[in-house]
Chains A and B, each alone.
Chain A
């Protein structure tokens, strides 16, 4: 009898302790984020969708940086990358990717292709809102006719009707702003030296 009452009181107390926990959280600030308006900050290394880098300055602006070395094609565990090549318009370089297609149905976001790339041609962008209704458009054409191309981004925006702009990752910004400029200057110097030699 005494044990019965003791158990009853003990258990009731334990229940009250549990109730206190939930009550405390009633009035605490909430942890959830209001997604489309508020976005969590992504880590610098965030793996979103693969982005193609391209020349931003000079006469070849808009031309892809990919030189079709096939390193990413070889390293990809699911063989989702297809690259065809052509002669580079810039005489200082040999080859260029004519078409670079990444099949997002297969891609498993392992980052191996980006790590394999020696030319900073592909990097991991921070875009993650690229849901599509159709599997058949998931072939992401990153390069078309040697030019930078982003039809998947367009397709997703068209299909989902969202007006979201693509998010620029720090790495992307770095490449566009710093490395590209440096390369461009170097190439001008090289061309100048060549023309001097020729003359």
Chain B
């Protein structure tokens, strides 16, 4: 083992690997490699190349990271993507507008409701379809429940990444309740396809409302348990506080959105800043933290669970009577020529759909802007200078879904 380059202690905040890192980062790639060689030559050590993934317990799917190590310290980290690429954009261009929706389930499979919603809204805007009010309420309810489920799942996976396996099962247990609700309304537990063009697939049932109420009543006590188990735990704090810090400037430069951006101190949430659907009718807050480290990302997500629960409660109370989807909808929608870009706040960040119509029953061009991809792009910057154990924690804190990264 060589000399440790970072000075990290138990009680103090960790000092970063290289104080002039952002400057170092701006140098062209060739110089960077040369300068690294010079440094390592002085120490007479060899670089240790570790291939993490594509089969690895904590890469959350098939992500490959080529990591250069100096002892246990990461000097370079190159994410290698594309193992799960399924050409969903091209597939979408070869399907009718209604047929696209089931495919979007497979992109962000933990936030399917939001993925469906973006496409549905894009088609509706292209074709000028008015969605009934009840459908909008139902969309908000399921999307927010999906956000809770996604964050719970993330909490569990993050706990498992830092070694607390019990949190993993606790997260799954509560997520199961949300899945039961979704099964009740749309028959599926993972790929919902519930939000369709012109409304939702089917109306909610009284049992769904009952289950939702039970879940919302139970959630605060469960959240307290997670806080006891993880948030307060000194080992967990040590593992996450001050680890994988990104500044607001870096975050914006890399196009990071969602909870990751909000953990850097920028209260950017499309539900508030560009209220789509009926979000302006609800009273909720956007949790913001300022350190931009793993712990703050954790806290933002945990707080968001509570805020989403608030929205679901309000939406259930204010749910109007009426149709749950547009009554008369052509079997094959033919929107007029034009294009549209729809962006929404998915559990992982900004989810955008660009759709271009040429007047036929199939879109001419479809492009998905998925949050996981942009959020992952900053990984190479975040991990340099941290230890191999932190790599896992940092990767976990990004909350990637590989289906979302590769499409």
B252 interface hit (Cβ, 8 Å): no
State whether A7 and B11 are in contact (beta carbons under 8 Å apart), knowing that A43-B183, A110-B102 are contacts in the complex: yes
Q: Shortest 10 CB-CB distances between A and B: which pairs?
A: A110-B102, A45-B187, A11-B234, A47-B187, A77-B99, A43-B184, A43-B183, A14-B232, A46-B187, A17-B228
**Residue numbers in A under 8 Å from B176 (CB-CB):** 31
- CB neighbours (8 Å) of B13 from chain A are none
Given contact pairs A43-B187, A75-B331, enumerate 11 new A-B contacts (beta carbons under 8 Å): A10-B234, A21-B225, A21-B229, A22-B229, A44-B205, A45-B202, A46-B187, A77-B99, A110-B191, A111-B193, A115-B201
Give the complex CA separation of A135 and B196 in angstroms.
31
Tell whether, in the assembled complex, residue A21 and residue B102 are in contact, meaning their CB atoms are under 8 Å apart: no
Band of interface residues on A: 20 to 34
The distance in angstroms between the C-alpha atoms of A21 and B226, with both chains bound, is 9
Instruction: Decide if B229 touches A18 in the complex (CB within 8 Å).
Output: yes
Residues in A neighbouring B173, C-beta threshold 8 A: 31
**Interface size of B as a range:** 20 to 34
CB interface residues, A 91-141, toward B, < 8 Å: 108-112, 115, 124
Smallest beta-carbon distance A64→chain B, Å: 23
Residue B52 at the A interface, CB < 8 A? no
| Best-buried of A18, A21, A47, A112 by chain B (most CB within 10 Å) | A18
Residues of B within 8 A of A109 (CB): 188, 191
29 A-B contacts (beta carbon < 8 Å): A4-B11, A7-B11, A10-B234, A14-B232, A14-B233, A15-B233, A15-B234, A17-B228, A18-B228, A18-B229, A21-B225, A21-B229, A31-B176, A42-B183, A44-B184, A44-B205, A45-B183, A46-B183, A46-B187, A47-B186, A75-B98, A77-B99, A108-B102, A109-B188, A110-B191, A110-B193, A111-B187, A112-B102, A124-B187
Q: Does B160 contact A (CB under 8 A)?
A: no
Binding site for A on B (CB under 8 A): 11, 95, 98-103, 106, 166, 173, 176, 180, 183-188, 191, 193, 201-202, 205, 207, 225, 228-230, 232-235, 331
From residue B273, how far is it (CB to closest CB) to chain A in Å? 33
**Any B CB within 8 A of the CB of A188:** no
> Min CB distance, A196 to chain B, in Å?
39
A42 (CB) vs chain B CBs: closest residue: B183
Residues on the B chain within 8 Å of A46, using CB? 183, 187
In the complex the two chains form, what is the Cα distance from A22 to B11 in whole Å? 27
A192 interface residue, CB < 8 Å from B?
no
Are B232 and A111 in contact, with the CB atoms below 8 A? Answer: no
- Complex CA distance for A38 and B124, rounded to whole angstroms: 44
Residues of the B chain whose Cβ atoms lie less than 8 Å from the Cβ of A45: 183-187, 202
A110-B193, A111-B201 are contacts. A47–B232 as well, Cβ < 8 Å?
no
Chain A residues with Cβ under 8 A from B99's Cβ? 75, 77, 112
B45: shortest Cβ distance to chain A, in Å? Answer: 35
**A-B CB contacts (within 8 Å), total count:** 72
- B98, B166, B183, B184: which has the most chain A beta carbons within 10 Å? B183
Determine the chain A residues whose CB is within 8 A of the CB of B233 once the complex forms: 14-15, 18
For residue B235, which residues in chain A have a CB less than 8 angstroms away from its CB?
15
Nearest CB of chain A from residue B322's CB, rounded to whole Å:
20
* Residues in B neighbouring A42, C-beta threshold 8 A: 183
Is A20 on the interface with B (CB-CB < 8 A)? yes
Distance of A108 Cα from B109 Cα, bound (Å):
13
Q: Which of A35-90 contact B (CB under 8 A)?
A: 42-47, 75, 77
Q: Chain B nearest CB: distance from A70 CB in Å?
A: 12
In the assembled complex, which residues on chain B have CB atoms less than 8 Å from the CB atom of A112? Answer: 98-99, 102
C-alpha gap A191/B201 in the complex (Å): 38
- Nearest A residue (CB) for B232: A14
CB neighbours of B225 from chain A (8 A): 21
B172 nearest in chain A by CB position: A31
B232 touches A18 (CB 8 A): yes
Q: Name the residue on B nearest A74 (C-beta).
A: B331
Nearest-Cβ distance from residue A44 to partner chain B, whole angstroms: 8
Judging by beta carbons under 8 Å apart, are B103 and A21 in contact?
A: no
Separation of A14 and B234 alpha carbons in the complex (Å): 7
Kindly list chain A residues whose C-beta atoms are within 8 Å of the C-beta of B186.
45, 47, 111
Most chain A CB atoms below 10 A, which of B100, B180, B205, B228: B228
* Cross-chain contact A108 with B191 (CB below 8 angstroms): yes
- Minimum distance in angstroms from B350 CB to a CB of chain A: 26
Question: Knowing A7-B11, A20-B228 touch, does A77 contact B187 (C-beta < 8 A)?
Answer: no
Determine the residue in chain A with the shortest Cβ distance to B238.
A11
State A42–B233 Cα separation when bound (angstroms): 38
Q: Which residues of A contact B184 (CB under 8 A)?
A: 43-45
Q: Is the beta-carbon distance between A77 and B232 smaller than 8 angstroms?
A: no
C-alpha spacing A21/B229, complex, angstroms: 7
Q: In the complex, A156 Cα to B240 Cα: how many Å?
A: 48
Closest to B177 in A: A31
Contacts of B11 in A (CB 8 A): 4, 7
Nearest residue (CB) in B for A46 is: B187
Give the shortest distance, in Å, between B266 (CB) and chain A (any CB).
Answer: 30
> Separation in Å of the A171 CB from the closest CB of chain B?
10
Q: How far is the CA of A184 from the CA of B258 in the complex (A)?
A: 58
Contact of A77 among B95, B185, B201, B202 (CB under 8 A): B95
Q: Are A77 and B102 in contact (CB under 8 A)?
A: yes
- What residue of chain A has the Cβ atom nearest to residue B225's Cβ? A21
